[in-house]
Amino acid sequence: MAAPSRDDVARAIAFFASCEDVDLLRRTLTEVAPRVRRLVVRYLGAGGEDAVPGPADVPPTPVAAARDDALNILRQTNDLALLQAITRAIGRRVEELERHQR
């Protein structure tokens, strides 16, 4: 199976950035965290802290992925920079939803 394209990642980000289900968002972050940690460790072992890429700059898209597609894109993404872009969007959305719940 081919790795998700940047367009796929942008569609997943659009879904997560508009998702209203804070529990799904939290579960998603919990699910992906061990994989992100493994990738960071791999980069650290290969070249130290300077080798760890920052989040990818993924241009926004008005076309959001469907829920299941967004989750599959996240699960299939193994590029650390793209994963960081997705998880950053998820984290921001969780914070936004929590602020509105107060």
Summarize pLDDT for 50-94 with one digit per residue, the tens: 888 889 999 999 999 999 999 999 999 999 999 999 999 999 999
Instruction: Report CA-CA distances (Å) from 53 to 12, 62, 92.
Output: 20, 26, 20
Whole-angstrom distance, CA of residue 27 vs CA of residue 41: 22
Structure tokens at 6: 């940047």
Q: Where are the domains of the chain?
A: 6-101
Phi-psi region of 48 (alpha: psi -120 to 50; beta: other; left: phi over 0): left
Structure tokens at 68: 């299941």
What is the reported pLDDT for 49?
84
* Contact call for residues 12 and 87 (beta carbons, < 8 A): no
